[in-house]
């Protein structure tokens, strides 16, 4: 595929409600999109980095810099045949996985369009529908949280994940469990605890949680393995898993029993598939995490979730939970059974609303391969 141009855009999109985790509150997203033009087709990628370097070291501004000055020019100089060629093209840039994923995922989108197959099929997906859960941020009161849970359960979501931190944990779980004894419930601490909190964390076992996600340091395996020995509740790692080797280390050390796969965090579809396969071969279930994506990132998450070992409900939910108006058509909807149906059209399966994207764009740069003049 000859790359004719790579257009980088920053869009501003307000969330329909603020999202609070143990590391902070997000009200407005600054979303970076890459639009790759190749031989009459356009592939789209979305960067999942946050506005601040809290979840990971990358953030909107670092990704913009690295895409514009490093990865964009590298890719524009090549003619990749497959999305899977990108890790090799980008090999001289260390880290910056969210930036790399932005471009790699757009190339997979292009490849699927060229082949005339759904992206899910190109990735090796086997599911026609995917099970969906919701991730609920820290609220200002328990009654407010209870009202949101009631609404999401009525909408059909199969699993409720509660963001937690010291002071917003066992009391919340107690109230939720006593009202809904049978629902599938999990929690996500985003590294809010230390190993010295282990006694406190063992009290979570009373609430029959499906998992506790990333309780300790964002870059740790060893202390999670010590903690897992003391917990009945399975630990799920999110932040710690950057690639297949990390997944193998975490599984080998028994640092977790479940893995959350995020496309941006692992650097794109190639590595996400590698983590998926490594986990599957070792009997470790995975699920697809979310990063408050717009419709483009969401469509990629949906395609990824069609792989066989994505057996637990993901944080992949309806567009309307995040945006007044999403930038894709149709918007992502979730059935009353809590499922999203995988699109059977070529490519990502959702059209980009280019007029709306243009209207929301606050900065834009075009990268082209340098033409050799003879």
Contact between 158 and ligand OSB by CB under 6 A: the answer reads: no
In 3-state terms, what secondary structure has residue 363?
Answer: strand
Distance CA 352, CA 37 (A): 14
Pair 188, 23: CB distance under 8 Å: no
Helix axes 269-281, 295-304, angle to 10 degrees: 30
Asked whether position 85 contacts Mg ion by CB under 5 A, the answer is: no
Active site residue 359: no
CA distance 75 to 368: 9
Q: Report what 314 binds from ligand OSB, Mg ion, none; CB cut-off 5-8 Å by kind.
A: none
| Contact window for ligand OSB (CB under 6 A) among 76-84, 164-172, 200-208, 290-298 | 290-298
Cα(243)–Cα(363) distance, rounded to whole angstroms? 31
Contacts 24+ apart (CB under 8 A), 171-180: 171/142, 172/142, 172/145, 173/204, 173/207, 173/209, 174/207, 175/142, 175/146, 176/145, 176/146, 176/149, 177/207, 177/208, 179/146, 180/149, 180/153
DSSP 170-234: HHHHHHHHHH-TTS-EEEE-TT---GGGHHHHHGGGGG--S-EE--S-TT-SHHHHHHHHH-SSP
Residue 188 lies near Mg ion (rule: CB under 5 A): yes
Select which of 100, 161, 257, 262 is catalytic: 262
- Kindly write out the interface string for residues 169-208 of this chain, putting x where it contacts ligand OSB by CB under 6 A and - elsewhere: -------------------x-x------------------
Q: Is 289 in the site for ligand OSB (CB under 6 A)?
A: yes
Using left for φ > 0, alpha for ψ between -120 and 50, and beta otherwise, residue 362 falls in alpha
Residue 238 lies near Mg ion (rule: CB under 5 A): yes
Annotated active-site residue in 100, 163, 165, 257: 163
Per-residue contact track with ligand OSB, 113 to 152, x per CB under 6 A? Answer: ----------------------x-----------------
Establish if 20 lies at the interface with Mg ion (CB under 5 A).
no
Q: Minimum distance from CB of 293 to ligand OSB (Å)?
A: 6
Q: Mask: binding to ligand OSB, 297-336, rule CB under 6 A, as x and -?
A: ------------------x-x-------------------
Which of 128, 45, 101, 1 is CA-nearest to residue 348? 45
Residue 262 among the catalytic residues: yes
Contacting residue, 238, 246, 271, 326, with ligand OSB by CB under 6 A: 238
Partner that binds at residue 169, options Mg ion, ligand OSB, none, CB closer than 5 to 8 Å by kind: none
Please report whether residue 291 would count as binding ligand OSB according to CB under 6 A. Answer: yes
The residues binding ligand OSB (CB under 6 A) are 21, 55, 135, 188, 190, 238, 289-292, 315, 317
Q: Which residues are catalytic?
A: 163, 262
The residues binding Mg ion (CB under 5 A) are 188, 213, 238
């Amino acid at each position: 595929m000859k790359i004719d141009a790579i257009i980088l855009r920053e869009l501003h999109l307000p969330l329909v409600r603020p999202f609070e985790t143990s590391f902070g509150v997000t009200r407005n997203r600054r979303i970076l999109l890459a639009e790759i033009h190749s031989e009459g087709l356009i592939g789209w990628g979305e960067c999942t980095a946050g506005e601040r370097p809290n979840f990971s070291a990358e953030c909107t501004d670092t990704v913009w810099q690295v895409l514009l000055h490093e990865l964009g020019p590298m890719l524009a100089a090549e003619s990749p045949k497959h999305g899977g060629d990108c890790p090799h093209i980008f090999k001289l840039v260390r880290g910056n996985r969210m930036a790399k994923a932005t471009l790699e995922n757009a190339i997979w989108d292009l490849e699927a369009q060229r082949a005339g197959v759904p992206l899910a099929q190109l990735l090796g997906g086997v599911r026609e529908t995917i099970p969906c859960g919701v991730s609920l941020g820290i609220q200002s009161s328990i009654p407010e949280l209870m009202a949101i849970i009631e609404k999401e359960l009525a909408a059909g979501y199969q699993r409720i994940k509660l963001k937690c931190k010291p002071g917003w944990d066992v009391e919340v779980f107690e109230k939720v469990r006593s009202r809904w004894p049978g629902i599938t419930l999990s929690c996500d601490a985003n590294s809010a605890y230390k190993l010295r909190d282990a006694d406190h964390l063992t009290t979570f076992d009373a609430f029959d949680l499906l998992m506790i996600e990333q309780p300790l340091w964002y870059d740790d395996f060893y202390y999670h393995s010590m903690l897992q020995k003391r917990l009945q509740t399975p630990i799920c790692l999110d932040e710690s898993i950057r690639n297949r080797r990390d997944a193998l280390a975490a599984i080998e050390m028994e640092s977790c029993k479940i893995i959350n796969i995020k496309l941006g965090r692992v650097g794109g579809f190639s590595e996400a598939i590698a983590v998926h396969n490594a986990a599957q071969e070792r009997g470790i279930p995975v699920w697809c995490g979310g990063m408050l994506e717009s419709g483009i990132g969401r469509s990629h998450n949906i395609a990824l979730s069609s792989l066989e070992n994505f057996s637990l409900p993901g944080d992949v939910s309806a567009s309307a939970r995040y945006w007044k108006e999403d930038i894709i058509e149709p918007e992502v909807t979730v059935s009353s059974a809590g499922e999203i149906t995988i699109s059977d059209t070529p490519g990502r399966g959702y059209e980009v609303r280019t007029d709306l994207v243009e209207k929301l764009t606050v900065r834009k740069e075009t990268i082209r391969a340098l033409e050799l003049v003879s």
